[in-house]
Amino acid sequence: MRFESKKDGFLWGVSGFVGIIYSGVSILIVYSEDELTSVYSLASIWLVLTIFMIWILPKTTHYTFLEDHLLCQSVGFKKRIPYTTFNKLEPANGLYVGWKMSTAWHCLVLRYNKYDELLISPANETQFIEIFMQKKAQFSNIN
């Protein structure tokens, strides 16, 4: 079963924050150098980053339950997590430092192996958690 990534205002907020910083730097450049070429460069970089974060990243991020593992994909990155290594799935609270395949602020932390974690944000969290618990129970009985 495949789950698309959840979308909320988080990526828009990040893009707006970067835009404010770039605007401040652009104002400083205009006042100090009286030249607009670097301002155009900053604006084009911000536009490319925004297009990537708002449209490309959410469209390419998804989570798929396969026969013996969970496949998490984002842009060109893939992470395969065997069901036998599942520990627990819990809501993320606060800032998170680690491997992220999430496109939303409210997301889940998937704990697997002994110390590994992955931040994910499936659109249908309740169904994802239900399938996660089924796979965890099914494959924990095997070992």
The answer, as to whether pTM is greater than 0.75, is yes
Distance, C-alpha 2 to centroid of its chain: 16
In this prediction, residue 142 carries a pLDDT of: 60
**Structural domains of the chain in order of their starting residue, each with its CATH number:** 1-143 (2.30.29.30)
Query: What is the per-residue pLDDT across 78-125, written as a single tens digit (0 to 9) for each?
Result: 999 999 999 999 988 777 767 788 888 888 999 998 888 899 999 999
In this prediction, residue 73 carries a pLDDT of: 93
DSSP state of 142: T
In this prediction, residue 129 carries a pLDDT of: 93
Residue 143 has pLDDT above 60, yes or no: no
Buried b (16+ CB within 10 A) or exposed e, 68-78: ebbebbbeeee
Query: What is the per-residue pLDDT across 52-61, written as a single tens digit (0 to 9) for each?
Result: 988 898 899 9
In this prediction, residue 97 carries a pLDDT of: 66
